[in-house]
Structure 1
Amino acid sequence: MVQNHNPLFAVAEVQLSYNTQIRPSDRPKVAQSRDIYEILKAHWENSLIDLQEVFKVLLLNRANRVLGIYNASSGGMSGTIADPKLIFAVALKAGASSIVLAHNHPSGNLKPSKADIQYTNRLVSAGALLDIAVLDHLILTSEGYFSFADEGMI
C-alpha cells in the first residue's frame, strides 16, 4: 500500500467500543436511591471516603441495570472537579440511557453545597440534550447518603 505523506491525511482514527463480560441479566438493577448507595458504597475505597473527595458516575441501561461505574475525578479534602465532556463521552461510549452522579463529602456533611446544586443542574441540562437522563445525584459519607431525587431536587 502506498503511503501518502500529505498532511491532510494525517488524522487519527476514532473507534467506539464497549466491552463487558457480564451478562445483562447478571447486572445489578437500580430501583431506588438505596440501591444506588449500596452499589456505590461497595465500589468506594473505604480508606478515602472520609479523606478525599471523589466523583463517580453510575451508567445505566434502559432497564436501569448497571453498565458500569466511571471514576470521573479525584480531588482534595474539600472538592473535586469532574469534566462534563468526559462524563458524557463515557456515557455515550457505554450506550447508557441514563446516569447517576455521586460524590462524597469527607467532612461528613450530607447537605449539598450551592456549587453541588449548580453543577447538578448543569449536568441535567446537558444530559437532556443528549437524551441521557440524569436520574439522581448522591452525596455519600461513611455514615449515609443524600439523594437529590429523593429531595425533589432533580
Structure 2
Amino acid sequence: MILCRKSSSNFCYSQMRDDQLLASIVSETSAQHLLNRYGNLKEVFLYTHQQELERIPGIGKAKAIQLKAIAELVARIIQGEQKSKIFVRSPRDIMDLVSDMQLLRVEQFRVLYFNTKNRLMHVETITQGTVDATVITPREIFSPAVRLLASSVALVHNHPSGDPTPSYEDREVTQRIVDAGAALCIQVLDHVIIGAGTYYSFKEQEAVI
C-alpha cells in the first residue's frame, strides 16, 4: 500500500491518473489532446518529436522542450541504474539493450562504451538523421571514448524500413571507424544494425570486425 500525506503542499503523484499527472505539466486540455492522439505516456514522451508536440493545442515550443527534457531525464536515470549491471557478450545482448530503436521513425546512430571487462559505461546518441541517411565521423565516436577511458565500443544504428541488411555506406562507415579505433587502441566490438524484430551483426556476418 502506498501512503501519502494529505496536505496542500504534498501531492500523491503515484495515485494520479495519467491524464492528471500530465496535466501537472501542461493544461488539462493539452493533456487530453496528447493522450487521445498518442494513447499513453510512453508514446507521448519517448516516441514523439518536439515539432509534433508543438502542434498540439496549448503546448507551444517552451512546453514541448520541457516534455522532451523530462523524457531525457527519465531515460538517463534508467540508464544510470542499469548500465553498472550490464555486460555485453553477444550481438543479441546489444539488440536487447537498444530494442527501442526498432520503433524509431528516423535513422539514429548510437555508440556503446565499455571498460576492460566489457561492462557498459555509457550510451551516447551520435546522430539522428533522415530516414535514409546518417552522417557520422570517427572523431564523434572516439572523443567520448577517450574522455571515458573506454577500452572498446559497439556501434548501433537502426533501419526504419525494418530491413537490417547493410548498405554500401554502412560497410564503408564501419571500416573507417574500425580503422580509426585500431589507431587509438580502442576496439570496435561490433556494428549492429537494428531492424524490425531482427538485427544484422558485422561481427557475425563479415570479416571487417
> Are the counterparts in 2 of residues 61 and 95 from structure 1 also a CA contact under 8 Å?
yes
Gaps of 5+ in 1: 1-20
Gaps of 5+ in 2: 1-79
Report the Cα distance in structure 2 between the residues aligned to 1:62 and 1:90, rounded to whole angstroms. 16
Aligned residue type for 2:136: A
Count of aligned positions: 130
In the TM superposition, 1:2-151 aligns within 5 A as 26-41=84-99, 44=100, 47-48=103-104, 51-151=105-205
Aligned residue type for 1:40: V
33 and 46 in structure 1: CA distance in 2 versus 1, 3 angstrom threshold: closer
> Are the counterparts in 2 of residues 55 and 104 from structure 1 also a CA contact under 8 Å?
yes
Which structure has more helix as a fraction of its residues? 2
TM-score, structure 1 as length reference: 0.78
Runs of 4 or more off by more than 3 Å in structure 1?
21-24, 44-47
Shift of residue 83, structure 1, vs aligned partner: 2.6
The 3-state SS of whatever aligns with 2:131 is coil
Aligned residue type for 2:187: A
> Are the counterparts in 1 of residues 108 and 158 from structure 2 also a CA contact under 8 Å?
yes
RMSD: 2.0
Aligned residue type for 1:64: N
138 and 45 in structure 1: CA distance in 2 versus 1, 3 angstrom threshold: closer
> Are the counterparts in 2 of residues 57 and 70 from structure 1 also a CA contact under 8 Å?
yes
Which digits, 9 at most, give the CA deviation of each residue in 1:54-78, with x for residues without a partner?
A: 0000101110010010100000111
Q: Percent identity?
A: 37
Which digits, 9 at most, give the CA deviation of each residue in 1:18-60, with x for residues without a partner?
A: xxx7698x3300111111111122xx35642xx1000000101
Shift of residue 142, structure 1, vs aligned partner: 2.8
The 3-state SS of whatever aligns with 1:149 is helix
95 and 46 in structure 1: CA distance in 2 versus 1, 3 angstrom threshold: same
Which digits, 9 at most, give the CA deviation of each residue in 1:66-106, with x for residues without a partner?
A: 00101000001111112321210011111110000010001
Aligned residue type for 2:201: S
Report the Cα distance in structure 1 between the residues aligned to 2:82 and 2:102, rounded to whole angstroms. 28
Which structure has more strand as a fraction of its residues? 1
Structure 2 partner of 1:5: none
> Are the counterparts in 2 of residues 27 and 67 from structure 1 also a CA contact under 8 Å?
no
